[in-house]
């Protein structure tokens, strides 16, 4: 029997429907291999958009920022005007609550609570952002120098890295509150003091984060590739390593915003904040209201809720960002 | 009467928003006592999933469904509840996995990982279990077993780790052993040793062994019967000699042809199978291998081909199989 | 192991050294200068001169620093401006209270946190899981002192289930040996005193535990999830081991490693929280004392406590590192 099978690709199918159907089915079943490479950020944005807690967090933040920015222009009363005292409604042991005019009632110094709450949002936002920025800039600078020195500098570089990290570790060896308290003790009680104190507390976190991230990146193959192509080390550091190390820093900044607001409240509670409670700020309002908890719990509850919800918003968004930016979770 | 009789095993994974994956799509084979059966195929053909399904180790999630039957010594393993399955595993049926380092608990000593099987299934006391563990480690060729009992996985070499895992698997003298790519993660010289060890154990205790691999060389050296899998279904099954001498299914032909040969002339091109694993047709629409098949005919589309039995027990799932005695196949 | 500990202790020295420099600078930068800081506003001219002399303020910075360090090493941390007693004495008297409170908080955080985190991981996607994740997120967002006040208001003042303030009911007239009130009660067999001390620890303990609890739940859950996907768990299943054995010996023993590391980090949080909680509950530990020191500008106390706490903190971290190497054989130093 002669072999009827010729060599090479053998198309023994008759042309016509079945062949086309087959080819089409084969095409459909084949996974598309020409997916464009997506950048980390774009992929992260895509994941974020699908993550419900990210959406909730972002929504909270948008509302918060809106209230903070626009709110003060729309409040019914002047937040510093102690109208309640003038009107004689504030008596010891009795602070009027919600009414038609004053939606959340008066505070212990006769000011409109609602207006204070709204205006306080702005101050709280500023406080949170400033503290975080302080910590971020200083921390990132230190961490960046340490990381770059460790990667680039050989003996001197490692020494610089060592010294810087020792200093950072020293800051870390103190519980955050004590550190904040020491800073505050130096500067005297005021809002600025508290912001600086809280900022200083977060410096070690950012420093270690960026340094660690940079060192991890420095060990990656693409750095080796760039260096073998002759790219100068300093350029590698600036153009390649730093951008890729930023992701965890951004996540941490978001999370730090949440804790900054809470820590500012704690420091105010301890008496290190602005002794003058005229300008409303949620942390300060919460601290002041503790004494009146049995008389008017609302005075504490409203700013507390504000702080909790805002911190929650930042935390939700931050955690969602962390998940979204984690390359290990790539499907 | 076969020790294990698998009929129409199917495993599907369904995920929200994605196409259902038919990882195993009607696999049937059988294993006799003392027999070494090979499950061969490329990655993604369903061989590992088959073994996990037999052991009841598939994740118990909503999207995972298992069908068919696997009669082991009279009981359908697929119908057993978790509790009974836990009794069967380790005692009657045992499994060895691919990567010995990650398959061992890094924070407890090797000895404990062996004795815990003995304590669990053979109700041994601590002293007795320890003695038996030493004997087992010795049996699998680990030198100085007494000392090894207290050592941790990271202190052992790759080959020794795999031997330890084999010791754990045979500790209770199971009647069926499943080895899923046991040598893929090891050096070539160690590979040979481990395979020798498995052959010995199987011979000495009449244990049946299911050998899962993509490596035809391994299969050639060890298996009595070989099942070739493609796209979740067995496409050819034969006794070893017959498969290598007289394979019929084009996929098997392709597999064998794609092995580089030492006696091939210099510069001679390698002949891989056309296309990739993803160029597949669902079995419901015809032969899954058709998009890549050089022997394709019209009849390959439309209906899934059934297994063609022969009098020698060699079966193949093809309507246009490779004819016997091909000139270019004479080399094999 | 021993060498490991010694090495770590030696590493401690430069850190403490640096800290002492920082404290020195800090002391000299305080408003009013170090004499005012150490003596308070009402220092007499004589005592101010005396302090100047002993601090060596008229001499070079190096000598001043030298004396500063000498005093530190001799554990002479100065005298509290408000209570007029030595800072060391104040610390020793009040520290046990904070220790009891911290232990209570850790017991709650670990005792509830680890099982909860484990269950949440095992039953991923279930209501318990989502509740745990949500709750732990929320837990880190609630200011501790607010939570403390709320607990106090509801459970102590309103419902009266727990005492509102203090460490112990004065009417019990308990005997105090170690200043660990619970321990004292047990040692002297004054069971009512011990029980009363425990009762006073509940509410502040819960408040203090809130953040560590949230963190432990989150870390345990993540860690267990990761371990559940590991190959060796599959091997354990393939061996037919019981669910209990797998959970204890294979899953938890590996999952607890990251949890153990973070417990060390939690100590810092606990201390900050202790200051706030003790203030709310008028619990006489070092936390409340620090708060008073802040209000009274009692700098000797602040400085002394900072130094002591830094040392304690470092020692606790060392302890955690050592225990970590005990748990994870891969880390063991040979």
Q: Three-state SS string across A7-34, please?
A: CCCCCCCCCCHHHHHHHHHHHHHCCCCC
Size (chain A), residues: 331
Q: CA-based angle A309:A314:A319, to the nearest 5? A: 120
User: What's the rounded Cα separation, in Å, for the pair A51 and A20?
Assistant: 41
Residue A37: CB partners within 8 Å, gap ≥ 6?
Answer: none
What is the share, in percent, of chain A residues with pLDDT greater than 70? 81
SS3 category, A235: helix
Strands B208-213 and B36-40: parallel
Contact state of C153 with A308 under an 8 Å Cβ cutoff: no
Strands B208-213 and B225-230: unpaired
List phi, psi (to 5°) of C82: -80, -40
CA distances to A218, B185, C105 from A313, rounded to whole Å, are 34, 47, 27
Sign of the dihedral defined by the CA atoms of residues C321, C325, C326, C332, in that order: negative
Chain B positions touching C248 (Cβ under 8 A) are none
What is the share, in percent, of chain A residues with pLDDT greater than 90? 9
Closest-CA distance, B165 to chain C, in angstroms, reads 9
Closest-CA distance, C132 to chain B, in angstroms, reads 21
If one compares C65 and B213, the residue with the highest pLDDT of the two is: B213
User: What's the rounded Cα separation, in Å, for the pair C111 and C116?
Assistant: 9
pLDDT of residue A25: 52
pLDDT of residue A43: 73
Residue A59: CB partners within 8 Å, gap ≥ 6?
Answer: A313
Do B95 and C237 touch, CB atoms closer than 8 A? no
The kind and range of the H/E element at C263 are helix C253-280
Sign of the dihedral defined by the CA atoms of residues C233, C234, C236, C241, in that order: positive
Sign of the dihedral defined by the CA atoms of residues C71, C73, C76, C80, in that order: positive
User: What's the rounded Cα separation, in Å, for the pair B12 and B15?
Assistant: 10
Query: For each of chain C's 334 residues, which pLDDT tens digit applies?
Result: 677 778 777 877 877 787 788 788 887 777 767 777 676 666 677 777 777 766 666 677 777 777 777 777 777 777 777 777 888 888 888 888 899 999 999 999 999 999 999 999 988 888 888 899 889 999 999 999 999 988 988 888 888 888 878 877 777 777 777 778 777 777 777 778 888 888 888 999 999 999 999 999 999 999 999 899 899 999 999 999 999 999 888 998 889 888 887 887 788 788 888 989 999 898 888 888 888 888 877 778 888 888 888 888 878 877 877 777 777 777 664 4
Do B67 and B28 touch, CB atoms closer than 8 A? no
Residue A302 tokens read as 């409203």
Chain B positions touching A12 (Cβ under 8 A) are 295-297
Written in H, E and C, the secondary structure of chain B is CCCEEEEEEEEEECCCCCCCEEEEEEEEEEECCCCEEEEECCCCCCHHHHHHHHHCCCCCCCCEEEEEEEEECCEEHHHCCHHHHHHHECCCEEEECCCCCCCCCCCCCHHHHHHHHHHHHHCCCHHHHHHHHHHHHHHCCCCCHHHHCCCCHHHCCHHHHHHHHHHHHHCCCCCEEEEECCCCCCCHHHHHHHHHHHHHHHHHHCCEEEEEECCHHHHHHHCCEEEEEECCEEEEEEEHHHHHHHCCCHHHHHHHHCCCCCCCCCCCCCCCCCCCCCCCCCHHHECCCHHHCCCCCHHHECCCCCCEECCCCCEECCCCCCCCCCCHHHHC
Chain B positions touching C238 (Cβ under 8 A) are 55, 57, 89-90, 94-95, 97
Sign of the dihedral defined by the CA atoms of residues A278, A279, A280, A281, in that order: negative
Q: Give the number of B-C residue pairs with CB atoms closer than 8 Å.
A: 80
Do A108 and A288 touch, CB atoms closer than 8 A? yes
Contact state of B281 with A3 under an 8 Å Cβ cutoff: no
A38 pLDDT higher than 80: no
A40 pLDDT higher than 70: no
User: Which of the 8 DSSP states describes residue A292?
Assistant: G
User: What's the rounded Cα separation, in Å, for the pair B179 and B157?
Assistant: 19
User: Which of the 8 DSSP states describes residue C79?
Assistant: B
Touching partners of C (3+ C-beta pairs < 8 Å): A, B
User: Which of the 8 DSSP states describes residue A36?
Assistant: P
Mutate to test the interface with B, among A4, A7, A11, A12 (most CBs of B within 10 A): A12
B314 pLDDT band, cuts 50/70/90, is: confident
B212 pLDDT higher than 60: yes
- Closest alpha carbon to B173 in B145, B205, B195: B205
Contact state of C294 with A312 under an 8 Å Cβ cutoff: no
pLDDT of residue B323: 80
Do B92 and B117 touch, CB atoms closer than 8 A? no
pLDDT of residue B282: 81
Contact state of A26 with B294 under an 8 Å Cβ cutoff: no
Name the residue in chain A with its Cα closest to that of B296: A12
Residue C56 tokens read as 């060596």
If one compares A157 and C150, the residue with the highest pLDDT of the two is: C150
CA distances to A8, B47, B211 from B181, rounded to whole Å, are 33, 10, 7
Name the residue in chain A with its Cα closest to that of B298: A13
Sign of the dihedral defined by the CA atoms of residues C223, C228, C233, C234, in that order: negative
- Closest alpha carbon to B103 in B27, B37, B186, B41: B186
Beta sheet of B64-72, edge-to-edge order: B21-31, B4-13, B64-72, B75-76
What is the share, in percent, of chain B residues with pLDDT greater than 70? 98
pLDDT of residue A9: 42
Do A296 and A303 touch, CB atoms closer than 8 A? no
Chain C positions touching A262 (Cβ under 8 A) are 141, 143
Q: Is C313 on the interface with A (CB under 8 A)?
A: yes
Strand partners, B75: B72
Contact state of C239 with B165 under an 8 Å Cβ cutoff: no
Q: Is C235 on the interface with A (CB under 8 A)?
A: no
User: What's the rounded Cα separation, in Å, for the pair B71 and B89?
Assistant: 15
CA distances to B168, C9, C261, C314, C322 from C3, rounded to whole Å, are 37, 10, 21, 17, 11
- Closest alpha carbon to B75 in B155, B176, B162, B179: B176
Do A147 and A157 touch, CB atoms closer than 8 A? no
B133 pLDDT band, cuts 50/70/90, is: very high
Q: Is C157 on the interface with A (CB under 8 A)?
A: yes
pLDDT digits (tens, 9 = 90+) for A199-225: 988 998 899 888 888 887 777 777 778
Do A286 and A113 touch, CB atoms closer than 8 A? no
pLDDT of residue A122: 87
Do A264 and A126 touch, CB atoms closer than 8 A? no
B117 pLDDT band, cuts 50/70/90, is: very high
Tell me the Cα Rg of chain A: 29
């Amino acid at each position: 029997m002669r072999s009827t099978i010729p060599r090479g690709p053998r198309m023994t199918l008759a042309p016509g429907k079945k062949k086309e159907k087959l080819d089409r089915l084969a095409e459909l079943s084949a996974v598309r291999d020409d997916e464009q490479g997506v950048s980390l950020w774009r992929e992260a944005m895509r994941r974020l958009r699908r993550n419900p807690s990210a959406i909730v967090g972002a929504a909270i933040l948008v509302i918060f920022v809106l209230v903070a920015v626009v709110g003060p222009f729309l409040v019914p009363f002047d937040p510093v005007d102690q109208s309640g005292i003038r009107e004689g409604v504030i008596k010891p042991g009795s602070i009027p609550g919600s009414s038609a005019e004053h939606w959340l009632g008066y505070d212990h110094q006769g000011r409109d609570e609602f207006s204070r709450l709204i205006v306080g949002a702005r101050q709280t936002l500023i406080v949170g952002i400033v503290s975080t920025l302080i910590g971020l800039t200083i921390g990132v600078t230190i961490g960046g120098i340490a990381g770059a020195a460790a990667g680039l500098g050989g003996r001197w570089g490692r020494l610089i890295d060592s010294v810087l990290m020792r200093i950072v570790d020293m800051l870390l060896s103190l519980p955050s509150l004590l550190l904040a308290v020491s800073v505050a003790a130096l500067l005297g009680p005021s809002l600025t003091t508290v912001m600086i104190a809280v900022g200083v507390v977060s410096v070690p976190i950012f420093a270690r984060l960026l340094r660690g991230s940079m060192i991890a990146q420095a060990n990656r193959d693409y750095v080796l590739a760039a260096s073998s192509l002759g790219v100068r080390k300093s350029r590698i550091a600036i153009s390649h390593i730093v951008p890729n190390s930023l992701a965890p820093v951004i996540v941490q900044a978001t999370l730090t915003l949440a804790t900054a607001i809470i820590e500012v409240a704690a420091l105010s509670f301890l008496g290190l904040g602005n002794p003058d409670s005229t300008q409303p700020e949620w942390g300060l309002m919460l601290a002041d209201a503790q004494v009146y908890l049995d008389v008017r719990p609302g005075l504490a509850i409203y700013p507390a809720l504000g702080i909790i919800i805002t911190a929650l918003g930042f935390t939700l968004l931050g955690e969602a960002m962390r998940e979204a930016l984690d390359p290990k979770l790539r499907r | 009467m076969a020790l294990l009789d698998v009929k129409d095993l199917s495993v599907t994974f369904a995920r929200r928003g994605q196409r259902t994956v038919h990882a195993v799509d009607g696999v049937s084979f059988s294993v006799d006592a003392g027999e070494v059966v090979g499950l061969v195929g490329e990655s993604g053909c369903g061989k590992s999933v088959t073994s996990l399904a037999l052991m009841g180790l598939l994740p118990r999630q909503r999207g995972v469904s298992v069908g068919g039957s696997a009669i082991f010594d009279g009981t359908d393993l697929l119908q057993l509840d978790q509790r009974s399955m836990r009794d069967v595993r380790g005692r009657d049926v045992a499994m060895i996995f691919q990567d010995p380092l990650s398959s061992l608990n890094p924070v407890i000593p090797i000895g404990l990982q062996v004795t815990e099987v003995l304590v669990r299934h053979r109700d041994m006391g601590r002293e007795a279990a320890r003695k038996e563990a030493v004997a087992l480690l010795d049996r699998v060729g680990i030198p100085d077993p007494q000392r090894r009992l207290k050592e941790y996985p990271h202190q052992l070499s790759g080959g020794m780790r795999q031997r330890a895992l084999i010791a754990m698997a045979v500790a209770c003298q199971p009647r069926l052993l499943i080895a899923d790519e046991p040598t893929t993660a090891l050096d070539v010289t160690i590979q040979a040793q481990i395979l020798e060890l498995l052959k010995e154990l199987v011979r000495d205790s009449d244990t049946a062994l299911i050998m899962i691999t993509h490596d035809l060389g391994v299969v050639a050296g060890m298996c009595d019967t070989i099942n070739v899998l493609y796209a979740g279904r067995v496409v050819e099954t034969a006794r070893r000699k017959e498969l290598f001498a007289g394979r019929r299914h084009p996929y098997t032909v392709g597999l064998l042809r794609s092995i580089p040969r030492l006696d091939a002339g210099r510069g001679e091109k390698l002949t891989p199978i056309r296309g990739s694993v993803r160029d597949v047709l669902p079995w419901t629409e015809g032969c899954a291998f058709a998009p890549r098949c050089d022997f394709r005919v019209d009849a390959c589309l439309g209906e899934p081909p059934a297994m063609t039995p022969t009098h020698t027990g060699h079966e193949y799932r093809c309507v246009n199989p490779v004819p016997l005695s091909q000139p270019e196949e004479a080399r094999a | 192991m021993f060498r490991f500990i010694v090495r770590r202790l030696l590493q401690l020295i430069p850190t403490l050294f640096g800290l002492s420099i920082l404290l020195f600078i800090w002391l000299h930068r305080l408003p009013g200068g170090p004499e005012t800081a150490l003596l308070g506003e009402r220092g007499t001219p004589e005592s101010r001169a005396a302090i100047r002399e002993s601090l060596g303020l008229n001499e070079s910075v190096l000598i001043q620093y030298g004396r500063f360090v000498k005093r530190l090493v001799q554990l002479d941390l100065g005298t509290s401006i408000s209570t007029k007693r030595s800072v060391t004495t104040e610390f020793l008297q009040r520290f046990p209270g904070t220790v009891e409170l911290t232990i209570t908080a850790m017991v709650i955080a670990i005792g509830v946190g680890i099982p909860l985190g484990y269950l949440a991981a095992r039953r991923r996607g279930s209501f318990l899981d989502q509740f745990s994740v949500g709750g732990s997120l929320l837990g880190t967002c609630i200011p501790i002192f607010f939570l403390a006040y709320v607990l106090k208001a509801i459970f102590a003042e309103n419902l009266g289930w727990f005492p509102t303030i203090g460490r112990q009911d004065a009417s019990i007239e308990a005997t105090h040996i170690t200043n660990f009130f619970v321990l004292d009660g047990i040692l002297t067999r004054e069971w009512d005193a011990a029980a009363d001390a425990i009762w006073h620890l509940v509410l502040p303990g819960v408040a203090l535990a809130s953040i560590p609890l949230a963190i432990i739940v989150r870390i345990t859950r993540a860690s267990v999830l990761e371990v559940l996907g590991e190959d060796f768990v599959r091997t354990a299943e393939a061996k037919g081991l019981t669910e209990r054995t797998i959970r204890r010996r294979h899953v938890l023993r590996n999952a607890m490693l990251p949890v153990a590391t973070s417990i060390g980090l939690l100590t810092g949080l606990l201390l900050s929280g202790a200051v706030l909680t003790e203030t709310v509950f008028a619990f006489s530990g070092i936390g409340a004392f620090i708060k008073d020191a802040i209000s009274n500008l009692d700098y000797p106390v602040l400085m002394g406590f900072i130094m002591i706490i830094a040392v304690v903190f470092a020692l606790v971290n060392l302890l955690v590192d050592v225990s970590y190497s005990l748990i994870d054989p891969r880390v063991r130093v040979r």
